[in-house]
């Protein structure tokens, strides 16, 4: 994909106007820095895309990968493995700062009659506000980003989720219309500054409509008739609403890898510590087991084989524990001591010779699978690290994946399963799987894969394949889990609650400074897993989107 090449673009990343987290509205302007009055909208485009792209990876390769059990950490893991979050854990301040830059982009595009740039701004606005409401619930929307208009906007009122979702769909329809011309009809496009699609109008249009499709399906449990109508409107008019259906059109942002701020987050180029982020990350057992059950070729792309397999020698003398030619041989008493739930680690030894994943929410995870390296973040010779590509600062597969052809086809599979559109669920399911394999460089394995255990058998297969395909973009599979209860993931013994969380806490800064948050908190519906959270502002409370759906619990 395209990379940031302009030196001025690199400069602009650090000097765009900032927004404080309080009320999302207080604007601090340094007159010596570049502001909205004098910035070229082409320079704002990569700033916004870069911000959105890094946000997606920070979520989907970060703690939400732990929630969805793609990965687990064996050190400093409480937020990742155990969902030990509170009202200081996550803040939306950075999201709104991206949106302020994006607001400037839209304003500059409108002032200069630049339809392409305006459409890009509307798409990015929809994407980010979608994330905000998906993650927190009700949020400032119609009055957000207006602090420069006066103090009456410093404490923004919160819009309900329905209003935000409807606004997203309206903006995406406008973007689709703005992008309906031929490539040559658009002025002012600097392809080198568009780090997503290189100024390709048709691909941006597909991106807009694919996000629209995602958000109609997002409300399929809460408001199925609205979702069905919206999805039909898109699918039945392919000329008017083209979609991302091939992996070559995926909305992927590449990492440059020149500095720590633009490098893949688990790289060892800028974090070479043996207890750094790469070494703490292990593959999650639920994902590894599912991929092994399906004979999935993506496992070898994402995971490293274990360094030293374990073999049980049942008739060996007590105390046998020898490593010979890269294989560790142990006696039954060694295994019994380790597996003892009181005095040992309490998990079965995994004797797989190639891939071993970490169970979710482990206690004393450093010792998993008979590991002798029990320091936090130490290498475990008997469990799978991520593939070594994730040590790199950049690479062809190290991309922020905003939305993919795999996801779009699997959404269509779900719509077909529901009887909302023509075609069959298996047709779209197969294509979704094909596009994911293609995106990860193993498309040649499609025929054998789809004719094996991965063959379509029912609805759960669709959501499970979306979960798999969301690798490094796990926020999307979390949103699917909340909506469907699939895949059937269970929290671990060290988890803060014995259920997966449903949302982020409103941050303490917002609570302390914006009185409007109290109304939003009152609208949340507590569940039996709210525990000792002092108010409805709990990661185990249901936002409007989930209330009355019966899902996921």
Report the pLDDT value the prediction gives residue 37, as an integer from 0 to 100.
64
Reply yes or no: is the peptide bond before residue 146 cis, omega within 30 of 0: no
Residues 6 or more apart whose CB falls under 8 angstroms from that of 225 comprise none
500/488 Cα distance (integer angstroms): 10
Domains (ranges, CATH) in the chain? 7-46+90-260 (1.25.40.390), 277-391 (no CATH)
| pTM confidence score | 0.93
- Tokens at residue 190, please? 């600097």
pLDDT above 50 for 34:
no
Read off the pLDDT band of 146 (50, 70, 90): confident
- For the chain, give the mean pLDDT: 93
- At 27, give phi and psi (nearest 5°): -105, 125
Q: Percentage of the chain surpassing pLDDT 70?
A: 93
**pLDDT tens string 262-276:** 999 999 999 888 778
Instruction: From residue 541, give the alpha-carbon distance in Å to each of 61, 168, 478, 536.
Output: 24, 24, 15, 6
Q: pLDDT for 188-233, tens place per residue?
A: 999 999 999 999 999 999 999 999 999 999 999 999 999 999 999 9
- Choose between 256 and 32: higher pLDDT: 256
Pairing of strands 71-73, 27-28: unpaired
Q: Which two tokens stand for residue 508?
A: 């303490």
Q: Which residue has the tokens 């392809």?
A: 191
Three-state DSSP state, 412: helix
As a whole number, mean pLDDT of residues 103-132 equals: 98
User: What 3-state DSSP class applies to 497?
Assistant: coil
**Gap between the Cα atoms of 378 and 73, Å rounded:** 10
CA 125/CA 92 separation, integer angstroms: 14
- Give the separation between CA 45 and CA 33, rounded to whole angstroms: 18
């Amino acid at each position: 994909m395209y990379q940031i090449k302009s030196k001025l673009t690199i400069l602009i990343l650090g000097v765009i106007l900032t927004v404080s987290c309080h009320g999302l509205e207080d604007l601090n302007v340094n007159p010596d820095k570049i502001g909205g009055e004098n910035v070229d909208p082409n320079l704002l485009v990569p700033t916004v895309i870069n911000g959105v792209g890094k946000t997606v990876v920070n979520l989907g390769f970060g703690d939400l990968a732990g929630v969805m059990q793609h990965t687990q950490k064996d050190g400093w893991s409480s937020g990742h493995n155990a969902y030990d979050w509170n009202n200081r854990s996550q803040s939306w301040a950075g999201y709104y700062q991206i949106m302020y830059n994006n607001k400037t982009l839209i304003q500059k595009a409108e002032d200069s009659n630049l339809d392409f740039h305006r459409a890009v701004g509307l798409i990015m606005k929809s994407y980010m506000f979608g994330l905000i409401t998906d993650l927190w619930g009700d949020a400032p929307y119609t009055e957000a980003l207006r602090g420069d208009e006066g103090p009456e906007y410093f404490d923004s009122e919160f819009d309900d989720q329905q209003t935000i979702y409807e606004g997203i769909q309206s903006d995406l329809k406008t973007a689709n219309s703005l992008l309906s011309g031929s490539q040559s009809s658009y002025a002012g496009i600097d392809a080198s500054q568009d780090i997503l699609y290189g100024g390709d109008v048709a691909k941006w249009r597909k991106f807009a409509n694919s996000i629209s499709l995602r958000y109609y399906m997002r409300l399929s449990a809460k408001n199925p008739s609205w979702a069905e109508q919206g999805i039909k409107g898109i699918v039945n008019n392919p000329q008017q609403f083209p979609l991302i259906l091939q992996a070559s059109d995926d909305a992927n942002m590449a990492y440059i890898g020149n500095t720590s701020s633009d490098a893949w987050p688990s790289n060892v180029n800028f974090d070479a510590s043996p207890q750094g982020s790469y070494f703490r990350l292990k593959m999650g057992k639920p994902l590894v087991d599912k991929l092994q059950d399906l004979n999935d070729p993506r496992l070898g792309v994402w995971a490293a084989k274990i360094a030293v397999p374990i073999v049980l020698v049942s008739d060996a003398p007590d105390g046998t524990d020898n490593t010979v030619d890269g294989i560790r041989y142990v006696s039954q008493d060694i295994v019994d001591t380790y597996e003892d739930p009181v005095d040992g680690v309490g998990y079965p030894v995994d004797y797989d010779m190639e891939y071993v994943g970490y169970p979710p929410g482990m206690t004393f995870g450093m010792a998993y699978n008979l590991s002798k390296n029990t320091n936090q973040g130490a290498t475990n010779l008997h469990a799978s690290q991520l593939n070594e590509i994730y040590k790199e600062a950049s690479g062809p597969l190290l991309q922020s994946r905003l939305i993919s052809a795999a996801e779009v086809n699997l959404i269509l599979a779900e719509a077909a399963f529901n009887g909302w559109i023509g075609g069959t669920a298996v047709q779209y399911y197969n294509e979704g799987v094909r596009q994911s394999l293609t995106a990860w460089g193993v498309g040649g394995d499609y025929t054998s894969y789809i004719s094996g255990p991965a063959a379509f058998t029912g609805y759960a297969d669709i959501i499970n394949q979306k979960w798999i395909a969301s690798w490094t973009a796990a926020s999307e599979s979390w949103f699917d889990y909340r909506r469907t209860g699939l895949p059937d993931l269970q929290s671990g013994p060290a988890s803060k609650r014995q259920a997966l969380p449903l949302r982020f806490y409103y941050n303490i800064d917002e609570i302390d400074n914006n009185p409007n948050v109290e109304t939003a908190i009152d609208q949340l519906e507590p569940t039996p897993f709210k525990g000792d959270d002092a108010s409805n502002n709990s990661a185990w409370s249901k936002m409007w989107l989930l209330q009355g759906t019966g899902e996921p619990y």
